[in-house]
């Protein structure tokens, strides 16, 4: 059986679309989980785009073993040199370079005639090849490129040493049959195609990224690119978990094998959602909260009699436990740790005893502890630089004034400030600003309720702009103002971390 290589670009194509900056620690946490999931290639970033991205790619290249680490470049000498430098510590490195090949991109964006694009493509592959043996070439906007020109350029870059050729549907314009025809045309007409792997990279503008990817695989592609939860530019990238499970469910008809540990899918999805601040819709295929829930009475009855009646995937295959163990004050450290790992807390820095102590406090208050409660337990952990919330009180004075008093512990010192605001959350944030004294702009704030039972938990997300970075903070608490304060302090902590 031939192998299908899974190329994850959550940290590159996914991150660049978020408008937010994930810190190195967050990117490492995602990378470690991607290795557990079994992806073959991790595209860690675009090193020449910023010093921060360079550092992230370099750190991932140094720390992460068990997957090829890849960096993106344009067909520009400096990009390739910088990328090679960042990838130097990697166990196995790949440079992903390329150029646009569609008439509109060549004429309007690059302002280059086709023959010049061809020369630049070949030169880029040759330059990358001086540094690494594994070079992937992308023909940007391939799905809107002229087929003859694509065949010509692919033949030349493969001759120059490209080991993988990526045929992206950059703008999400393709249809399954059109895209399959294109991949088949390349397979049948590029003379030296047997020396390279065909890769596909789709976007979901017409809701067909997964369908197009599967069509491309059927037509002969042996590498698929995408992101976890489908995060990415505009309507997103291909959801890798969808492609993986579509192939798994119909594995006989594809005749290819995957090196994926499907049981890590749910944990990977939750981790990416938690770190990126992008919620997964409840109806999302494979990873949505309702993906394995049966609401209709007829369906429930059927599934109880025989699972196959209404269920095509056993939830356990993707890491959703069938028999949820209900945690309570009687649960031990091991059960807590196990559940936390399932929820994506795979790289816990804090001591388990401290977490367990908070867990017991909450379990005493609530009785049964649900997953959302565990996120709250973990939400108590404020990252990095030693800011934590000691006390918080708010008061409303009519429709548009409120006051807040906040005590924070900053580097071991307790500091209290009070502030007035248009509403209680505004007042809390102003009081925190007065203590922390960092120039940030609040770009977005949202609050939703999670958890079951009467002690609803508030889950707050804030986005702040600090220097040129957009940073996400999250906080969860049974008190909505405390949840908001935690989210804000969490984001400020990350901002401090960036400044160091
Ligand atoms: Zn893309």
Contact 194, 156 (CB under 8 A): no
> In this structure, what are the phi and psi dihedrals at residue 203, rounded to the nearest 5 degrees?
-120, 160
Measured CA to CA, the distance from residue 37 to residue 66 in angstroms comes to: 11
Whether residue 318 sits in one domain with residue 207? no
DSSP 343: T
Going from the Cα of 70 to the center of ligand 1, the distance in angstroms, rounded, reads 14
CB atoms within 10 A of CB 352: 14
309 is a domain residue: yes
Whether residue 368 sits in one domain with residue 392? no
Residue count of the chain: 500
Contact 48, 12 (CB under 8 A): no
134 is a domain residue: yes
Q: Which helix (H) or strand (E) holds 469?
A: strand 469-477
Residue 481's CATH number:
3.30.160.270
Determine the pLDDT at residue 265.
95
Measured CA to CA, the distance from residue 136 to residue 9 in angstroms comes to: 14
Going from the Cα of 170 to the center of ligand 1, the distance in angstroms, rounded, reads 6
Going from the Cα of 477 to the center of ligand 1, the distance in angstroms, rounded, reads 36
Measured CA to CA, the distance from residue 164 to residue 158 in angstroms comes to: 8
Going from the Cα of 424 to the center of ligand 1, the distance in angstroms, rounded, reads 41
Going from the Cα of 61 to the center of ligand 1, the distance in angstroms, rounded, reads 21
Structure tokens at 366: 């609530």
Measured CA to CA, the distance from residue 429 to residue 485 in angstroms comes to: 7
Three-state SS annotation for 99-145: EECCHHHHHHHHCCCHHHHHHHHHHHHHHHHHHCCEEEEEEECHHHC
Going from the Cα of 236 to the center of ligand 1, the distance in angstroms, rounded, reads 8
Whether residue 11 sits in one domain with residue 62? yes
Going from the Cα of 58 to the center of ligand 1, the distance in angstroms, rounded, reads 22
Measured CA to CA, the distance from residue 476 to residue 258 in angstroms comes to: 37
451 is a domain residue: yes
Segment 457-482, tens digit of pLDDT: 777 889 999 887 888 888 877 788 98
Measured CA to CA, the distance from residue 463 to residue 473 in angstroms comes to: 6
Going from the Cα of 203 to the center of ligand 1, the distance in angstroms, rounded, reads 6
Whether residue 452 sits in one domain with residue 488? yes
Angle between helices 352-366 and 371-379 (to 10 degrees): 130
Going from the Cα of 264 to the center of ligand 1, the distance in angstroms, rounded, reads 24
Half-sphere exposure of 373 (CA within 13 A, CB side): 24
Whether residue 306 sits in one domain with residue 225? no
Measured CA to CA, the distance from residue 58 to residue 53 in angstroms comes to: 8
Determine the pLDDT at residue 426.
93
Going from the Cα of 233 to the center of ligand 1, the distance in angstroms, rounded, reads 7
Antiparallel, parallel or unpaired: β 402-410 and 387-396: antiparallel
Residue 144's CATH number:
3.20.20.70
Determine the pLDDT at residue 389.
87
Going from the Cα of 216 to the center of ligand 1, the distance in angstroms, rounded, reads 16
Q: In the chain, how many domains are there?
A: 4
Whether residue 303 sits in one domain with residue 233? no
Q: Of 278, 258, 284, which Cα lies nearest the Cα of 30?
A: 278
Whether residue 156 sits in one domain with residue 38? yes
Strands lying side by side in the sheet with 469-477: 441-450, 457-466, 469-477
Going from the Cα of 2 to the center of ligand 1, the distance in angstroms, rounded, reads 25
Whether residue 401 sits in one domain with residue 315? no
Going from the Cα of 382 to the center of ligand 1, the distance in angstroms, rounded, reads 33
Q: Which helix (H) or strand (E) holds 96?
A: strand 93-100
Contact 454, 460 (CB under 8 A): no
286 is a domain residue: no
Going from the Cα of 76 to the center of ligand 1, the distance in angstroms, rounded, reads 19
Q: How far is CA 204 from the centre of its chain?
A: 16
Going from the Cα of 141 to the center of ligand 1, the distance in angstroms, rounded, reads 10
Antiparallel, parallel or unpaired: β 457-466 and 441-450: antiparallel
Going from the Cα of 68 to the center of ligand 1, the distance in angstroms, rounded, reads 19
Going from the Cα of 227 to the center of ligand 1, the distance in angstroms, rounded, reads 10
430 is a domain residue: yes
Going from the Cα of 32 to the center of ligand 1, the distance in angstroms, rounded, reads 22
171 is a domain residue: yes
Where does 375-440 show beta strands of DSSP type E?
Answer: 387-396, 402-410, 413-421
110 is a domain residue: yes
Going from the Cα of 272 to the center of ligand 1, the distance in angstroms, rounded, reads 18
Q: Under DSSP, is residue 320 helix (H, G, I), strand (E, B) or coil?
A: coil
Q: How far is CA 33 from CA 341, 440, 500, in A?
A: 11, 31, 26
Whether residue 178 sits in one domain with residue 61? yes
Whether residue 340 sits in one domain with residue 299? no
Determine the pLDDT at residue 183.
98
Q: Which domain holds residue 473?
A: 387-499
Q: How far is CA 284 from CA 16, 112, 238, 292, 497, in A?
A: 22, 41, 13, 10, 34
Going from the Cα of 109 to the center of ligand 1, the distance in angstroms, rounded, reads 17
Structure tokens at 125: 């592959």
pLDDT tens-place values along the chain, 500 residues long: 899 999 999 999 999 888 777 889 899 999 999 999 999 999 999 999 999 999 999 999 999 999 999 999 999 999 999 999 999 999 999 999 999 999 999 999 999 999 999 999 999 999 999 999 999 999 999 999 999 999 999 999 999 999 999 999 999 999 999 999 999 999 999 999 999 999 999 999 999 999 999 999 999 999 999 999 999 989 999 999 999 999 999 988 999 999 999 999 998 998 898 888 888 888 899 998 788 877 677 777 777 777 788 888 888 899 886 645 668 888 888 888 888 887 778 777 778 898 999 889 888 877 778 776 787 788 655 444 568 888 999 998 877 899 999 999 888 889 999 999 999 999 999 999 999 988 899 999 988 776 555 566 777 889 999 887 888 888 877 788 988 998 999 888 888 776 55
Going from the Cα of 327 to the center of ligand 1, the distance in angstroms, rounded, reads 41
Contact 229, 239 (CB under 8 A): yes
Structure tokens at 8: 């994850």
237 is a domain residue: yes
Q: Under DSSP, is residue 44 helix (H, G, I), strand (E, B) or coil?
A: strand
Going from the Cα of 1 to the center of ligand 1, the distance in angstroms, rounded, reads 28
Segment 344-373, tens digit of pLDDT: 787 777 788 989 998 898 888 777 787 767
The radius of gyration computed from the CA coordinates of the chain, to the nearest angstrom, equals 25
Going from the Cα of 171 to the center of ligand 1, the distance in angstroms, rounded, reads 8
């Amino acid at each position: 059986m031939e192998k299908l290589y899974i190329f994850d670009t959550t940290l590159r194509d996914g991150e660049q679309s978020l408008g937010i900056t994930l810190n190195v620690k967050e990117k490492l946490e995602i990378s470690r989980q991607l290795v557990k999931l079994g992806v073959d290639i991790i595209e860690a970033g675009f090193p020449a785009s910023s010093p921060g991205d360079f550092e992230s790619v370099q750190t991932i290249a140094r720390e992460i073993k068990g997957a090829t680490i890849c960096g993106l470049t344009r067909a520009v000498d400096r990009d390739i040199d910088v990328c090679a430098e960042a990838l130097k510590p990697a166990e196995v490195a790949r440079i992903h370079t390329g150029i646009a090949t569609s008439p509109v991109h060549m004429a309007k964006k690059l302002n280059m005639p086709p023959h010049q694009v061809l020369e630049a493509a070949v030169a880029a592959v040759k330059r990358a090849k001086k540094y690494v043996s594994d070079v992937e070439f992308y023909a940007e906007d391939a799905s809107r490129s002229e087929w003859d020109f694509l065949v010509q350029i692919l033949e030349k870059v493969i001759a120059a040493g490209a080991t993988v050729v990526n045929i992206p549907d950059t703008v999400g314009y393709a249809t399954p049959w059109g895209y399959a025809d294109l991949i088949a045309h390349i397979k049948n007409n590029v003379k030296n195609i047997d020396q390279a792997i065909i890769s596909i990279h789709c976007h979901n503008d017409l809701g067909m990224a997964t369908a197009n990817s599967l069509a491309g695989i059927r037509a002969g592609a042996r590498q698929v690119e995408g992101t976890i939860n489908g995060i990415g530019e505009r309507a997103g990238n291909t959801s890798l978990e969808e492609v993986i499970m579509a192939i798994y469910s119909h594995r006989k008809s594809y005749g290819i094998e995957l090196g994926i540990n499907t049981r890590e899918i749910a944990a990977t999805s939750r981790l990416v959602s938690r770190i990126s601040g992008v919620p997964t819709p409840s109806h999302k295929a494979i990873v949505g909260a309702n993906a394995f829930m049966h609401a209709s009475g007829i369906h429930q009855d059927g599934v109880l009699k025989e699972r196959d009646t209404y269920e095509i995937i056993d939830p356990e295959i993707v890491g959703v436990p069938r028999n949820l163990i209900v945690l309570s004050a009687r649960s031990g450290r091991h059960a807590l740790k196990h559940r936390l790992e399932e929820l994506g807390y795979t790289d816990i820095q804090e001591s388990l005893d401290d977490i367990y102590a908070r867990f017991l406090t909450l379990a005493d208050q609530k009785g049964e502890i649900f997953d959302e409660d565990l996120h709250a337990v973990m939400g108590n952990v404020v990252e990095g630089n030693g800011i934590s919330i000691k006390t918080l009180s708010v008061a409303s004075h009519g429709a548009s004034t409120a006051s807040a008093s906040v005590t924070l512990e900053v580097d071991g010192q307790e500091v209290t400030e009070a502030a007035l605001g248009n509403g209680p959350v505004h007042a809390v944030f102003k009081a925190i600003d007065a203590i922390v004294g960092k120039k940030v702009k609040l770009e977005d704030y949202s609050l939703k309720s999670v958890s079951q039972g009467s002690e609803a938990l508030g889950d707050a997300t804030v986005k702040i702009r600090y220097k040129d970075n957009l940073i996400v903070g999250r906080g969860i608490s049974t008190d909505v103002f405390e949840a908001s304060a935690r989210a804000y302090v969490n984001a400020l902590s990350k901002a401090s971390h960036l400044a160091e």
